[in-house]
Structure 1
Amino acid sequence: MTIDKKLCAPKFGGFVKKRLPVVIASSLLAPALVWADASLEEVVVTATKRETNLQDVPIAVQALTNEKLEQQNINNFSDYINFMPAVSFQSTRPGVSQVYMRGISSGGDGNHSGSQPSVAVYLDEQPVTTINQVLDVHVYDVARIETLSGPQGTLFGSSAQAGTLRIITNQPTTESFEAAMDVGVNSTKNGGVGNSVEGFVNLPINERAALRVVGWRQEDAGYIDSVAGSRTYAASGITVTNDQYVEKDFNDSVTEGMRAQLKVDLNDNWTANLGVNTQQQETNGVFDHDPEDVGDLEVVRFGPDKYEESWTQSSLTLTGSVGGLEVTYAGAHLDRDSDWASDYSAYAEYLENLYADYGYDCLYYNSMGGCADPTQYIDDNSKYRRTSHELRVQSDQENRLRWIAGAFYQEQVHDFDMRWQVPELSTDDSVIENGHVVWQTAQVRKDTDRALFGEVSYDLTEKLTGMVGIRHFDLENSLVGFAGTLGRCTDFPCVDYPNVDAVTDDKGETYKVNLSYALNDDVMLYTTYSEGYRPGGVNRAQVGVVSPAYSPDWVYNYEFGWKATLLDNRMRFNGSIYRVDWENFQYAYLDYQVSPLTLITNVGQSRTNGMEFDLTYAASEQLLLSLSGSFNAAELQDDYYQTDDDRLEGIVSAPTGTAMPFVPETQLSATARYEMELGSMPAYVQMAWSHTDDSWNSLDVSLRQKQAAYDLVNMSAGLSGEQWSADMFVSNLTDERAEIYRNENDYDARITTNRPRSIGVRLGYRF
């Protein structure tokens, strides 16, 4: 009997006192209570684009399996990211997040026409990496989520310079009919009530074909209040109130979607998988609060706040064999549309103070005389399209000499239209040509990636294996469109940029070398040198202060790692120690004295010295303990000067030794799960804890603020029958206010936080 036995429905994470997680961690070192027949099940991953036992892959990989995802009550990005201590992140709301690995973060990569992310994100076989918007896939009937730490440039290409995050869904099977339904309800402290309905069915059509359909709908209750307030603008003396935007628990959300996958064995050698994933998400309000100026879980808003997103991914995967070689084609297309609006009145107040001599609302918003209320908001419509094709061939993996080679092509287009609206602005055509819009960014960004890649492995002896990999890439980035002020200005610092129509490209190679040595059947050591790259791009502000285009940046990784299965398969202990050099890294910043648009430039070097580990221990047949973590010391290696004038004057924005932003030095995650029987029914109780160290929110030492460390604690318990299950859970037991992202903007400083304590139940039935 193994410790990882499956129950009928998703299970939920944790309940302990705030300091009790120390006991969980300490207990990992305690002797087993009852050894009996406790053992760990094999974990299969596809980190090398082939199915392999986790312990046989000489790569730093952490995997949340289907069983772990269910047990931890993981439904979305904000849930699973806390149990992946190899990954750090920033977020402002569901669907708007950025991930980092191994200290590769400059803190300013969130602009829609700025740098690509440093971590590649995959949904099954398709890359779905998007700037500042990790695809927030609802997690249900998912096989596993993998994190591949360190540069993965050879197999996963551009943006995989710090690592890769992969979401792998369950595939159809012809073996048997299977179906399940899960329903849940939860209540948030000082907030509302949420609920969820999820289900799937696996339907064998015949011995060669099967269909798997998954559906979900989840309502998340709000917990942040928009409270009453007023604002007086400096120059005009106009005072406005926000009565129409006062609302309790206004940051609620609804997520619904479905996934359908059809598997067909075309013949004895070839199989086709056709899939469609679609999801719609609507969120209201904001997910940050202002505890320092307004109150706990409270904000004052003067405009609409909403985010609506829909995306559909269509995919086709063909696998087969030709002449003893395994051949895979993976093609996919992603359509992603978003519409959002956000209060921007704090910026109007900021400019009122900055340009008090001009009278911002008097001279700019109504040059006909008098003053207009400058209260404003942004609305945005973005259309994102990505098409990718990959063809790869690999030899028999049992051979002493084995290899994988492939060709890759992708094209992604981001068509965005952002408008700054001032409802009280005069619409007289002699004042402004476009109604209430005072600023607009309407541009189309296109990124194209062509690549050839391959890896060759050779067993030098029975115990020693060498591997070399290379990827040749050909990248192109173009930006076309307009950004600037609409209408005429008098005596006010207005900017009308000419239309951007620029392109930049780059070619090169990235390399990987790996040696692995099997001490015995249960312990493997490995060492790796690997490279990762991130594409360059076009600056939308062609102002002469920075280059019209920024260059690719590179990561060089030196790593020693181990994979160990110990104590007769009762303990799994994997880890790695590494040094990562990041050269010529891209940095995005705002300088209103130069341009109101984000500027991107290549500024310098950073270095990360770190360690990652993942420990799982079957203490007895009933008790399973796990502890994983990362330690990263990421520091700037050169003085950073924002402009050439600053360099001449000796004004350093970030001196050598500055800690890189959004890089907690320590991240930990621990779980203790005890399974038993109540009468004749399987039951369990589980506690889970995650710790995120403090971090900085900017590279610029004159602007940066420290984001406080936080600990999150969960608890769950449940029991199941032959076909049913029931779970009770408490999330964020200690009601912690995590500082996920502290916005350092002078005109609108708020803190993105997590959900307060919530209590819920979930019922499941397996047909």
Structure 2
Amino acid sequence: MRTKSTTLLISSMVAVVQPLTGYGQDTGNALEEVVVTAQKREERIIEVPIAISVLDGQTLQDRGFTNIQDLAFAVPGLTMREDGPGSYTIFMRGLSNQYGTGALVGVYLDEAPISLTGFDQLDTRYHDMERVEVLKGPQGTLYGQGSVAGAIRYITKAPVLNRYEGTLGGSISSVSGGDERETINGAINLPLVADKFAIRIAAVAEQGGGWQDQPQAGIKDGNGQDVVNARVRALWQVTDEFTINAKIIAHRNEIKLGQGYENADHTVTIGVNRAWVLVPKKYDYDLYDLTMTYDFGGFQLLSATTYIDHDNQYPYTTISGPQTTSAGFESSNERHVSAMQFAQELRLTSTGDAALEWTLGAFYRDAKRYFYRDGLSRSAAGLVTPSFFRQDDTYKSSSVFADAAYRITERFKLGAGVRYFVDDQTGSDGIYLESKSFHSTDPRVYASFKLSENVNMYGSVGKGFRSGGFNRGTTLPDYKPESLISYELGTKGSVLDRRLGFEVALFYSDYKDMLRRGLQFVPALNNLQSNTSNIGKVEVKGVEAGITLQPISALTFYANAAYTDSEIKEVDALNSTSIAGDPVDYVPELSYAVGGRVGFDVGSLPSFVRVDYNYRDAVTYIDRTSFLPQYIPQTSDAIGLLDASVGVTWNAATVELFGTNLTNENKWIDPYYNWNNANRTRPRVVGLRVNYDF
């Protein structure tokens, strides 16, 4: 497979990782120029010396994206594990493990960090969104320790000070073999004081859409979601120099069968007692964000303050299958997470077109997470025992950072950055209380050279870092931090009078002290205990490529792909789940997306058709402590998903017929199905969507 995949990718090296434009836009004969804020300043995307994928708001709307699972299939190289709707662990660029407490991929909503831990990254809905930026590779200098593999930035639409505007939409769709789903969404912009103060209110509500059954409990289509997500943004232009942005988000989601795992026949099997009705999943959070900027002329001061209150109640069940080392073991329990996070960032950024661009900043985070589970387990011999566990953690971290780039000539720019980070953790399971401090200095250097006004080459070397933590409830040792050095070379730009956009990035990463699970003998307990430990060294290498072609204003094609070779090179831990030579879990070797959009008139009515196809290789999971040797590795399915839509616009109203997974693929997304802990592709969905702009 590797030889075939490598040949396929090399033969298409004319392309790049992500389209550089919002390819659904009609901008004449030229592709629209994209401006991003990936480096915490506004820049043309071709001038940013990192690989970035950008999906604009129109593209998100056209494709009907609702959550990050949709994004993961649209962005090659981005994968994830889902433990029920709203609970995601995100992986990128060959860095993938479910151990440790911190995130590998940082997630941000405007200026607000919304990664609480690696397992608690807030569910975000894509309504009234300006764009999504996916930053590839370590972003530790500007975004901190939770961005070892990259960062995802959701940019919401800001209030407009000088006009009333809004949108109202809704959809109804049918899930193959399941329930109907109804969605209503809207946004309104209200300039309450002309050119001074405006608010923007956006909300979405979803209901139904389930397809999973628990026949023993009489539950049909039980994974339908009842979601309400409301966002209010306020913009106050106090003076020409002083601006205040405030945002409040309330998110509520409830699912009767909320674990997300299913069998091939779309049934859900509950451990210990098949007829149990487990606790429904409730996923709620409130977010408060205040961002203030003051322009001093030549530089800008920004203060961003965020507070998050999050509650998550969800069911969890496991059934160990015949391929596991503990066949016949079953458990079911209810789990609760209560978390809060306060974050404060102060940042000074140069403005204007000076030869020297610079950023100085400081960041502070205070987070608390309380977790408990309560349930029953049954051994292979049939013995049923109660199961209870609690965990109470606090995280206090602070950092200072700086980044500067100097334009040596009109074509050549050289830059460097560094962040010093300190993380103080405490943890308790009600018996053991531990505390420890971790710290890191993370540098980055980069350079870029313009071949022309619209074509740029770049190179960068950056370090990433993720804190260590505790093996609670035992006398096992703590685990150390992980670190990463990544090297990247790339080129991006547009040619043919900006009708063809392209990007190519090659990268190599040296990932040290990767965290995995293992077994260690504890003399005080006279048995083996499961623990998280630093197992050794991983090497990751890959290439990402993509093109966007707009030969005429009404016709756009895109293709992008990622090839990743991620391999464990050294293992220095006893009884590890992995050995040298193993691939890294949840990393597809090849993934790609292709598609296009054509606009035309039906009579005098503007219309369009778009088609998108997303493919991802099978991913593996290796755990030598849980699976019998002859069944290693565990493997998901290779997945190809075909989506399409056709729409027509009359005055300010657009009516659209859409379909996702049109071939009704029923495949394993996750390889962990022999523990009854894996989700599958969503069945075919066909629906009608109406949107009215005013």
TM-score, with normalisation over the residues of structure 1?
Answer: 0.81
Identify the residue that residue 671 of structure 2 maps to in structure 1. Answer: 742
**Structure 1: how far apart are the matches of 2:491 and 2:653?**
40
Which of 200-209 and 214-223 deviates more?
214-223
- How far has the Cα of 1:86 moved from its partner? 3.0
Preserved CA contact (<8 Å) 1:641 1:653: no
Q: 1:758 aligns with which of 672, 677, 685?
A: 685
- How far has the Cα of 1:325 moved from its partner? 1.8
Identify the residue that residue 558 of structure 1 maps to in structure 2. Answer: 487
Could you say what the CA RMSD is over the residues aligned between the two structures, in angstroms?
A: 2.7
SS in 2 for 1:299: coil
**Structure 2: how far apart are the matches of 1:81 and 1:352?**
32
Identify the residue that residue 208 of structure 1 maps to in structure 2. Answer: 196
SS in 2 for 1:752: coil
**Structure 2: how far apart are the matches of 1:27 and 1:586?**
36
Change (3 A) 1:131 1:258: same
Identify the residue that residue 288 of structure 1 maps to in structure 2. Answer: 261
**Structure 1: how far apart are the matches of 2:503 and 2:512?**
28
- How far has the Cα of 1:501 moved from its partner? 0.6
Change (3 A) 1:626 1:344: closer
- How far has the Cα of 1:439 moved from its partner? 2.6
Change (3 A) 1:416 1:717: same
**Structure 2: how far apart are the matches of 1:344 and 1:587?**
20
- How far has the Cα of 1:131 moved from its partner? 2.4
**Structure 2: how far apart are the matches of 1:123 and 1:404?**
20
2:588 maps to 1:664: yes
Change (3 A) 1:659 1:397: farther
**Structure 1: how far apart are the matches of 2:285 and 2:27?**
49
Change (3 A) 1:604 1:699: farther
Preserved CA contact (<8 Å) 1:640 1:653: no
Q: 2:443 aligns with which of 511, 515, 518?
A: 511
**Structure 2: how far apart are the matches of 1:558 and 1:36?**
35
**Structure 1: how far apart are the matches of 2:292 and 2:425?**
30
Identify the residue that residue 630 of structure 1 maps to in structure 2. Answer: 562
Could you tell me which amino acid in structure 1 is paired with residue 482 of structure 2? D
**Structure 2: how far apart are the matches of 1:708 and 1:756?**
15
Preserved CA contact (<8 Å) 1:571 1:618: yes
Change (3 A) 1:699 1:511: farther
Identify the residue that residue 647 of structure 1 maps to in structure 2. Answer: none
TM-score, with normalisation over the residues of structure 2?
Answer: 0.89
Q: 2:109 aligns with which of 123, 127, 131?
A: 123
**Structure 2: how far apart are the matches of 1:144 and 1:699?**
38
- How far has the Cα of 1:422 moved from its partner? 7.8
- How far has the Cα of 1:197 moved from its partner? 0.4
Identify the residue that residue 246 of structure 1 maps to in structure 2. Answer: 218
Listed as ranges, the matches of 1:613-692 within 5 Å are: 613-639=545-571, 641-643=573-575, 653-692=577-616
**Structure 2: how far apart are the matches of 1:27 and 1:464?**
24
Q: 1:522 aligns with which of 442, 454, 467?
A: 454
Listed as ranges, the matches of 1:677-756 within 5 Å are: 677-698=601-622, 700=624, 702=629, 703-743=632-672, 748-756=675-683
Preserved CA contact (<8 Å) 1:28 1:626: no
**Structure 2: how far apart are the matches of 1:454 and 1:27?**
35
Identify the residue that residue 219 of structure 1 maps to in structure 2. Answer: 207
2:76 maps to 1:85: yes
Identify the residue that residue 241 of structure 2 maps to in structure 1. Answer: 269
- What are the superposed Cα offsets for residues 86-130 of structure 1, whole Å, 9 maximum, x if unpaired? 311121321121111111113x33xxxx43121111111111113
- What are the superposed Cα offsets for residues 157-184 of structure 1, whole Å, 9 maximum, x if unpaired? 0111110011111111112111111010
Preserved CA contact (<8 Å) 1:88 1:663: yes
**Structure 2: how far apart are the matches of 1:317 and 1:691?**
39
Gap regions ≥5 residues in structure 1: 1-21, 30-34, 228-242, 356-374, 424-435, 483-498, 644-651
Identify the residue that residue 141 of structure 2 maps to in structure 1. Answer: 154
- What are the superposed Cα offsets for residues 54-110 of structure 1, whole Å, 9 maximum, x if unpaired? 11211111111111111211122222221111311121321121111111113x33x
Could you tell me which amino acid in structure 2 is paired with residue 755 of structure 1? R
Change (3 A) 1:590 1:131: farther
Change (3 A) 1:438 1:590: farther
- How far has the Cα of 1:541 moved from its partner? 3.4
- How far has the Cα of 1:597 moved from its partner? 7.3
- What are the superposed Cα offsets for residues 613-632 of structure 1, whole Å, 9 maximum, x if unpaired? 23111022211011112110
Which of 324-333 and 595-604 deviates more?
595-604
**Structure 2: how far apart are the matches of 1:583 and 1:351?**
29
SS in 2 for 1:205: strand
Identify the residue that residue 32 of structure 1 maps to in structure 2. Answer: none
2:412 maps to 1:470: no
SS in 2 for 1:637: strand
- How far has the Cα of 1:480 moved from its partner? 1.7
Could you tell me which amino acid in structure 2 is paired with residue 300 of structure 1? T
Identify the residue that residue 282 of structure 2 maps to in structure 1. Answer: 308
Change (3 A) 1:531 1:26: closer
- How far has the Cα of 1:589 moved from its partner? 4.6
Listed as ranges, the matches of 1:95-494 within 5 Å are: 95-106=86-97, 108-109=98-99, 114-129=100-115, 130-206=117-193, 207-227=195-215, 243=216, 245-285=217-257, 286-291=259-264, 296-301=265-270, 302=274, 303-305=276-278, 306-322=280-296, 324-343=298-317, 377-421=332-376, 438-482=386-430
Identify the residue that residue 45 of structure 1 maps to in structure 2. Answer: 36
SS in 2 for 1:78: helix
Could you tell me which amino acid in structure 2 is paired with residue 61 of structure 1? I
Q: How many residues align?
A: 652
- How far has the Cα of 1:656 moved from its partner? 2.2
Which structure has the larger Rg over C-alpha atoms? 1
Change (3 A) 1:678 1:385: same
Change (3 A) 1:353 1:629: closer
Preserved CA contact (<8 Å) 2:543 2:564: yes
**Structure 1: how far apart are the matches of 2:597 and 2:326?**
57
- What are the superposed Cα offsets for residues 130-154 of structure 1, whole Å, 9 maximum, x if unpaired? 3223322111001111110000010
Change (3 A) 1:620 1:640: farther
Which of 50-59 and 587-596 deviates more?
587-596
Preserved CA contact (<8 Å) 2:642 2:662: yes
Preserved CA contact (<8 Å) 2:319 2:676: no
Change (3 A) 1:354 1:514: same
Preserved CA contact (<8 Å) 1:340 1:380: yes
Preserved CA contact (<8 Å) 1:606 1:638: yes
- How far has the Cα of 1:592 moved from its partner? 11
- How far has the Cα of 1:353 moved from its partner? 7.3
Preserved CA contact (<8 Å) 2:236 2:245: yes
Listed as ranges, the matches of 1:588-607 within 5 Å are: 588-589=517-518, 599-607=531-539
Could you tell me which amino acid in structure 2 is paired with residue 683 of structure 1? S
The share of aligned pairs that are identical, in percent, is 25
Which of 120-129 and 246-255 deviates more?
246-255
Change (3 A) 1:622 1:658: same
Identify the residue that residue 362 of structure 1 maps to in structure 2. Answer: none
**Structure 1: how far apart are the matches of 2:27 and 2:424?**
59
Preserved CA contact (<8 Å) 1:640 1:654: no
**Structure 2: how far apart are the matches of 1:123 and 1:577?**
28
Identify the residue that residue 233 of structure 1 maps to in structure 2. Answer: none
Preserved CA contact (<8 Å) 2:421 2:441: yes
Preserved CA contact (<8 Å) 1:28 1:625: no
Which of 215-224 and 264-273 deviates more?
215-224
SS in 2 for 1:512: strand
Preserved CA contact (<8 Å) 2:335 2:372: yes
Could you tell me which amino acid in structure 1 is paired with residue 299 of structure 2? L
SS in 1 for 2:339: strand
SS in 2 for 1:334: strand
Preserved CA contact (<8 Å) 2:262 2:676: no
